[in-house]
Structure 1
Amino acid sequence: MNQRVVCVEPEVAVDFAEFRPLLEKVLDLIRRSIQIHGDWSDYDEDRVFDAVAGEFDEYREAVVVRDVSGRHG
């Protein structure tokens, strides 16, 4: 699987300060997830696949019932 990634500089500088509240929330969610589920260091490939597939199934179900911005948002 040969893929080529080309990075192009943005025409306008990105001010990451405006994303700080969102990034802090994401980091808090990641920290909470690690406390509950661990840091995945002991997961083999099958367990990682099962975990990710389960999360995707949960997301798909949320889309079907139009609850993406609710509990699953």
Structure 2
Amino acid sequence: MTVQINWSALGLVLIAGLVSGVGVVVLFTLGVRGLSDYIDAKQAGRTSVLGLGGAVVGFALSLAIVALGIYVIVAG
């Protein structure tokens, strides 16, 4: 019995996994960085709307991607 591997499909899965994995890490990192900027500005008596906005967007998008991945796995 010969096993045939669909290399193009395997390549697409590999690329999708790498892009989504790196994307979630980058978005979460931007969220942490934005939150850090916001906390530093708050301690210095300033405001950092960009830091807080970046944190909210970064965390929300990373949560959405993870939730989508879990949904795809569970829905089957």
TM-score range, shorter chain: 0.3 to 0.5
Q: Which has the higher contact order (CA 8 A, sep 6+)?
A: 2
Q: TM-score, normalised by structure 1?
A: 0.35
Structure number with larger C-alpha Rg? 2
